[in-house]
Amino acid sequence: MDLYNRYSALPKSAEIDARAIADHAQRARKYGAVIVSTLTVLTLMTVFSFNVKARPAPDSFADLVEKLSPAVVNISTTQTVKGPSGGFPKLPDGHPFEDFFKEFGNKDKNGEQRERKATSLGSGFVIDAKDGYVITNNHVIDGAEEIKVIFKDGEKLAATVVGTDPKTDIAVLKIDPKEYPLVDVGWGDSDDSRVGDWVLAIGNPYGLGGTVTAGIISARGRDIRSGPYDDYIQTDASINKGNSGGPLFNMDGEVIGINTAIFSQSGGSIGIGFAVPSELAVPVVAQLIEFGKTSRGWLGVVIQPVTEEIAEGLDLKDTDGVLVAGVPEDGPAFKAGVKAGDVILKFNGEKVGEPRELSRLVAESKVGSEVKVELWRSGEIVTKEVTLGELEKAETAMASASPSAPGNSDKVELLGMKLAAINDSMREQFSIGPDVDGVVVTDVDPNSEAAEKGIRPGDIVAEAQLEPVSSPDQMKERIAEIQETDKKSVLLLLKRGDNSRFIALKLNKES
């Protein structure tokens, strides 16, 4: 019996129920299709919403390049240098080849290299067409006696230096805007850029003139140990010698970086280039234009990272924060009561994880502003209010050091080091200042942890576990006290010249 016959054979009451069931089934199929269709649309919308955040690869950069290229310039510098010898031998007077080597080696009669004019090339970009400001790298124009800005059509204009900042490798030049119809570009927000975003570099590699390369942002926040404020954008867009000072653009045609350095063993591009982010560059450029120099905040502390051993020695739960290794007298931190051995956890409400972060936060703060510094000290959190000084003034005023007084003539061996009192002979032998206090390291076991951590003869141990030591006997007593606790290491404050740092050395029974 087919379905219809089975349905017709049902009793009347059953017929109504069966019709209802059939009707429900038909509606289910109808609404089911609608639901499936709706879910499909929602799924496509969800997928699309994820995709709209990521821009597709452009079919061509040509329109962007055509718009931006007029603002990108070549920087040509000239300076007087003494050239290399070139491997030419120094010949005695009257030698048959003397004149030959003098001509081709550019040497005088005494074999000394003559002064000559050297020319180098870099890149830059116009950031303000109205006033004629051009941005480049400091190392491009450093020491230059003559600077020329060369445009795409070959036009050359003389440039003067407005200001430079070696710490971020940024320089601002000025040209006369009346002499040439300038086109400028604007800054973008490097903080909005993401790893994987497309970028465009335009510059003057190897003196070839306007050259365009494209790639992506490979990484953010790179520290290449070139300065205290390293926060580079890494890109695989080809950057070579001569690209220095040129712009790194986003796909909106905004400058998000200043191409500055490359990582290469051959000297050519291997896809690892670095650009100063606009977030760091913009305030520096603004200060250079306004004042001709930078004006950075100064906290007045010598800092270092918190290692696991140091954290254990200070009863810290983790290595977050920055250890204060020294506090120069008359500096802002010293006046506010910050001490060596404190760990800075927050600066003006911002968490601090490493020295580089603190350096940038302080530098970006306004000179004369009052900031709150949260510290870890002896197992407690302490907050100090510090009025920031000016870093540039502090650097020029850094004169002579000044701690305290001599000790006795005893000598001890501790933790792989031979320690002695600071007397006149020690001061003369290791060039120790007349007012420096502590105990001097006279020898280091090459197989010891002290040697591994870079301690060397002439270093001064000023503190042991945050307490000053002024004699070898006092140092020995202090180590013995610490060994009686459950600490696995001792924190030593070492001084070397004008520098100081903390080092944690493991305790042992032989000590």
Active site amino acids = 139, 169, 244
Q: Which two tokens stand for residue 438?
A: 């502590």
Residues in CB range of 101: below 8 A, 6 or more apart? 88, 89, 91, 107
Report the residue count for the chain.
Answer: 511
**Judging by beta carbons within 10 Å of its beta carbon (0-12, 13-18, 19+), is residue 426 exposed, middle or buried?**
buried
Of 185, 182, 191, nearest in space to 254 by CA: 185
- The answer to whether the beta carbons of residues 151 and 180 sit under 8 Å apart is yes
Number of DSSP helices (H) and strands (E) in the chain, helices first: 13, 28
- CA 477 – CA 468 distance, rounded (Å): 12
Q: How far is CA 250 from the centre of its chain?
A: 21
The tokens 């907050």 sit on which residue?
A: 383
Task: Count CA atoms closer than 13 A to 45's CA, side-chain side.
Answer: 6
Q: Which two tokens stand for residue 442?
A: 């006279």
- What burial letters (b/e) apply to 209-238, b meaning 16+ CB within 10 Å? ebbbbbbebbeeebeeebbebbbbbbbbbb
Which residues neighbour 459 within 8 Å (Cβ) at sequence distance 6 or greater?
440, 441, 494, 495, 496
